[in-house]
Amino acid sequence: MSEHMALRTMRGRAVLVTGAGSGMGRATAEVFAADGAHVALTDLPESPIDEIAAQLRAKGHSAEAWALDVTDHDAIRRVTNEVATRFGRLDALVNNAGISAFCPIDDEAYDMIWDRAVAVLLTAHQRLVRAALPHLRRSDAGRIVNIASTEALGATNRDSPYCAAKAGVTGLTRALAVELGKEGITVNCICPGPILTGMTAKVPDADKDIFAQRRTALRRYGRAEEVAHMTLSLCLPASSYLTGTVIPVDGGLMARNA
Ligand code: NAD
């Protein structure tokens, strides 16, 4: 492989993906595996990551599964170290695991939903970064990709816990990009728009269509792999001068006024 080709692949590099049992996390694991990366699929114990990893290995790819609840600080440290030991390296971290957190501001459950949203969607990101950092520092192309949302850039009614946590992810991304830039580690953030995943599965197709026609430039929901390809692009060694960015992958939702 030529030097230039080597910069455009994750082949032989290792990536840890959170929330890899469904939706965009799963698609990310599949896209990285197909590119030749060693993929650590992590998700809640009840998720199908073991089966997904087995399917990837059956196709000749390098993939292993680890049960990991991203709100468990000790487990984050343990699993991150196990992944780096298993693959002999860790080059990229994809903070993807997420939950919905709709709640009106005066609802009795608001504090509980707020705390959960911040724990899963924001605090977990910094903890995974801190656990992964010693390993990313040993890579010649350390990469962090945080999955936020267009809800970090605008807001849906009654979605303030989610919007606040996701906006926090954009701030965390910029701050860590500035802090880690001198070490050559890049930190970027993707803001997916409406994507066909487990999270949006309960939205009736007709409602999805009305929303997409009215709000997106491309007039459709996105597919999980359309986000995964951007994640892969951000992790490539070639993407060495791109950091601190917040990139909507949203079918043009943020670009469209009318
Ligand atoms: P999904 O529900 O299909 O997948 C989310 C995964 O995260 C699941 O496998 C779930 O088990 C896992 N997860 C949840 N809580 C966890 C925890 N505590 N520890 C570990 N794993 C946990 O949803 P998705 O749409 O693929 O979501 C991926 C990311 O994209 C999330 O951060 C979500 O907020 C974000 N997002 C989704 C959309 C969309 O339209 N689907 C839009 C913008 C942003």
The domain locations on the chain are: 3-247
49 CB under 6 A from ligand 1? Answer: no
From the CA of 95, give the closest atom in ligand 1: 32
> How far, in Å, from the CA of 26 to the mean position of ligand 1?
10
For the four alpha carbons of 137, 143, 146 and 152, in that order, the dihedral sign comes to positive
- Tell me if 124 sits within 8 A of 147, measured CB to CB: no
- Write down the H helix ranges in the chain: 3-7, 23-34, 49-58, 73-87, 110-118, 124-136, 160-180, 205-215, 224-235
Contact 189/145 with Cβ under 8 angstroms?
A: yes
The answer to whether 93 touches 147, Cβ cutoff 8 Å, is no
What's this model's pTM, rounded to 2 decimal places? 0.99
pLDDT value, residue 165:
99
pLDDT value of residue 3: 85
Which CATH number is 3-247 given? 3.40.50.720
**Cα dist. 176→148, 162, 188, 245 in Å?**
15, 21, 9, 11
Atom 24, ligand 1: residue with shortest CA distance: 23
Catalytic, 162? Answer: yes
Q: Kindly state if the Cβ of 96 falls inside 6 Å of ligand 1.
A: yes
Q: What is the pLDDT along the chain (258 residues), one digit of tens a residue?
A: 888 888 999 999 999 999 999 999 999 999 999 999 999 999 999 999 999 999 999 999 999 999 999 999 999 999 999 999 999 999 999 999 999 999 999 999 999 999 999 999 999 999 999 999 999 999 999 999 999 999 999 999 999 999 999 999 999 999 999 999 999 999 999 999 999 999 999 999 999 999 999 999 999 999 999 999 999 999 999 999 999 999 999 999 999 999
Q: Which pLDDT score, from 0 to 100, does residue 149 have?
A: 98
124 lines ligand 1 (CB under 6 A): no
From 124, 118, 45, 146, select the one nearest 77 (Cα to Cα): 124
Q: What is the pLDDT of residue 6?
A: 87
Residue 134 is predicted with a pLDDT of 98
First-last CA distance in the chain:
47
What pLDDT, on the 0 to 100 scale, is given for residue 4? Answer: 84
